[in-house]
Structure 1
Amino acid sequence: MGWSIPIFRVAGIQLRIHITFLLLIAWLAFGYYAQGGSAVAASRVIFVLLLFLCVVLHEFGHAFAAKAFGINTPDITLLPIGGVARLERMPEEPVQELIIAVAGPLVNVVIALGLFVAGGSQALLNPSTVEGGGLIAQLLTINVVLVLFNLLPAFPMDGGRVLRALLATRMSYARATQVAATVGQGFAFVFGFIGLLWNPFLIFIALFVYIGASQEAALAQMKDVSRRFPVSSAMVREFRTLSEDASLQEAVDALLATSQHDFPVVNE
């Protein structure tokens, strides 16, 4: 992904940070510093970094699950709206896609359980801890939110991929993708509307979901169509040739008059 900086490599997977993520951290640090000074800015930036650490672990969950099915993940990129694990290919076996999609949220479940054991149980009992509680309680709550939000059937988010995997057990992969993409685009409109009224950040999520759903639906349809036709149906059967004594003008005319880029030169 362009405008991203490589950080380090884990198990053959390159972790990258998009430049906009660094701008987000700088903007948050400046805003919190203006509100409460360096101590507040440092504590909130640390919280945001820990939050995105949970996001990175979430993406590694997808990557390691994909690896179990022989699918490599060249890189994971950290964006302001979350992380993106770039798999070499998407599995078309419903069970494989289901496992890979669920693996990410399961990582957040494990993190939340670990934080609960470590002393963050108050966050489940007192909503005020999200704003005023300790770091453990806030991280526990945010991981629960990540699980619930990611499992919304808003394709291409995790929940949308779960939906496609389930649909693909009853219909073709292309049709399942189209249905899941339509549902995802519906959620995108909902996110966008809520973003206009409440939190503009949801507008960026809406754009990501809508564009991602449209692209995956188009790709699945193209794959489905390409499988129906043999290579022979796309091959060029008739070639325009040029004689060895043809002029350059004749070659230019042939180039402009046909879709060929190469012309066999024959000795007539």
Structure 2
Amino acid sequence: GPFLTNFMWINISLAVFNLIPAFPMDGGRVLRAALALRMPYARATEVAARLGQAIALVFGLLGLLFNPMLVLIALFVWMGAQHESSLVQLRSALAGLPVQNAMITDFRVVGRRDPLSRAVELTLAGFQQDFPVVEDHRAVGVLTRADLVRGLAEAGKTAPVEDFMHRDFGTAQPDEMLERALSRFGQQEPATIVVSTDHEVLGIVTPENIGELVMFETAVRQGRRTPRQPIRSGEALRRSAR
């Protein structure tokens, strides 16, 4: 009957759509697997993601001309390609790096019985927003900027830090692999990870610092792939004359 015919065509359309060589469809993953036979996995993902975004642009233009539904599909494909590329870029940049490579070593701590005014002073004196709360050289909590603002609003500057700190927080060893540490605490609040040993707090890892590390590592790897252009003789003479 008509219902079964329509149902069959819907399934065929979905199967064909899933084979489009763009993330997050299976066709994009098949394309990446094929490209990965000839180039590094991260590079294959980047190429497949760019192709997916090009396809998304085509869908978007067709949607503006013929069917607005294609615009929504274009957004879905574009965002899927961007997410997959960013995720693989992050994993590639962090692969093989220990936590200490991303650790901030110039940091400040507060005591659990310190007044919130102490955290205010440290915040205004620098760029740090989250503070390890330390007792006997060991971390017992983390006070975030949101915690600090909430504490000031509810209890004022004289309230002790321990009343508003996070007692459940992420910790990592300095030689632990960064990717593993982030997989354990990536969705946890607070986002700041305290790096410590059994005897002392060594540093902190923040999302902002992770972002900077990924940016630098990606730039270094792209520089390795791009050959340096030879200096022309005229440029060499001008440089030597300076």
Q: TM-score range by the shorter chain?
A: 0.3 to 0.5
More helix by share: 1
> Relative CO higher for 1 or 2, CA cutoff 8 Å, sep ≥ 6?
2
